[in-house]
Structures are given as structure tokens and as C-alpha cells.
Homo-oligomer: A and B are copies of this chain.
Amino acid sequence: MGRWEPNAQSRLRQAAMDLYAERGFDQTTVAEIAERAGLTERTFFRHFADKREVLFAGSERLQALLLKSVAESPLLSEAAAGPAALAAVAAAFEVAAADYFPPVEYSRQRQRVIDANPPLQEREVAKMDRISAALAGILRERGVGDLAAALAAEAGTGAFKVAFTRWVADPADGSLLGHVREAIAELRTLLPATA
């Protein structure tokens, strides 16, 4: 980002989100996004590959953050059993929830755009599925058994999805971290009584 384009990326992101909300995702062009942001198309393409990437550019960084957290998790330092695996995944999502996400109003706006467009919904779901698969892979590298790794990744990612959905729908503006902690705690109550 040049000195003459302060906050270009966030201006482009907000301009895109406003236009997607006003006109619909399919009806918005990159030229319009750039114009709304007071920037050039060339600047847009320095920050995003296409108009869809404005919505999903963060997911690679999210995945990298989660994988790093699990790769370095002290919870997995000894016998890497299933409970430690789920705890490590939960802790990674808590770190991400605390540090990574934009303000709730932006996330809500993004969610409305995605909810209105089935191909974007499929992409969002596929993105979370890839994150789950990547988490299972790093758990296996840390010595967790194949089945436990896959289940811990699925359960933890599923709990995060539920928490995220509740966060963007929550009129009380609770924190994402609060929702993640609540979901993980509730997940823990689902199992023992029927074990």
C-alpha cells in the first residue's frame, strides 16, 4: 500500500461490502468498487484477485493462524490423545476469535451478502471444510491418531461455525470470543451423559 493510498485495502473492502449490499454481489463490478473507494481498478487488483476474494481473502490467514496455534500448542506436548486434540483446536479458535476477526458490523454485512448468494454460501462452507481438513492434518503431525484427529477437527470447527453464526445474528453485540467459549462449553455437555 503506497503512502498516497492510506488504508486502501480496508477502503476497498468496505466499498465492496456496501455495493454488494445495495446492488447484490452479481451486479457489482470491480470498477464500481474502485470508484466508490476513490481508488483505481489497478489498486484493487493489487489487493484482491477478484471481487469474490474481497469476501474470502481472510480465510487463508485464518487457516494459517489456526494451524500455527495447533502446531505450537503446549496441550499436545505429551501423549497426544483425543481430549488434548480437541482442547488444542478449541484454544486455536479462541485465539483467532480474540485477535483475528473484523468488527461485528462488518462481519454481519458480509454474512448478509453471502446468505443472499448460494454460490458464495457453498464457497464459505467449503472454506470451513478445508480448515477442518487442515487442522486434522496438523493434529496427525503432532501425533494424534487418525480418527481422533479428524473428529477433534470436525467438532471444533463445527462449534466455531455455530459460534460465528450466533455472533453475527446476536443483537446484543456479544464478543465472538464469548460465543466461541460458550459453544465449546456447551459441546462438552453434549457427550458425557450418553457415553
Give chain A's interface residues, CB within 8 Å of chain B: 81-87, 121-123, 125-126, 129, 132, 147-148, 150-152, 154-155, 157-159, 161-162, 165-166, 182-183, 186-195
A147 with B186: in contact, given A129-B125, A154-B162, A155-B158 (CB under 8 Å)? Answer: yes
Whether A86 contacts B191 by the Cβ 8 Å rule is: yes
Measured CB to CB, the closest approach of chain B to A66, in angstroms, equals 16
A154 with B148: in contact, given A83-B189, A191-B83, A192-B192 (CB under 8 Å)? Answer: no
- Given A83-B190, A86-B190, 4 further pairs, Cβ under 8 A: A85-B190, A125-B126, A126-B126, A155-B159
A186 with B151: in contact, given A126-B125, A126-B126 (CB under 8 Å)? Answer: yes
A194 with B188: in contact, given A147-B182, A155-B158 (CB under 8 Å)? Answer: yes
Task: Report B-chain residues with C-beta under 8 Å of the C-beta of A189.
Answer: 82-83, 148, 195
A194 with B87: in contact, given A122-B126, A186-B148 (CB under 8 Å)? Answer: yes
A-B contact pairs, 10 of them (CB 8 A): A82-B186, A82-B189, A122-B122, A122-B126, A132-B158, A148-B189, A154-B162, A155-B187, A190-B191, A191-B192
A152 touches which of B85, B87, B151, B190 (Cβ 8 Å): B190
Interface of A is mostly: helix
Q: How many monomers of this chain does the complex have? A: 2
Task: Report B-chain residues with C-beta under 8 Å of the C-beta of A121.
Answer: 126
* Cα distance, A186 to B149, chains bound together (Å): 10
Measured CB to CB, the closest approach of chain B to A149, in angstroms, equals 9
* Cα distance, A126 to B81, chains bound together (Å): 30
* Cα distance, A191 to B151, chains bound together (Å): 11
Whether B122 contacts A183 by the Cβ 8 Å rule is: no
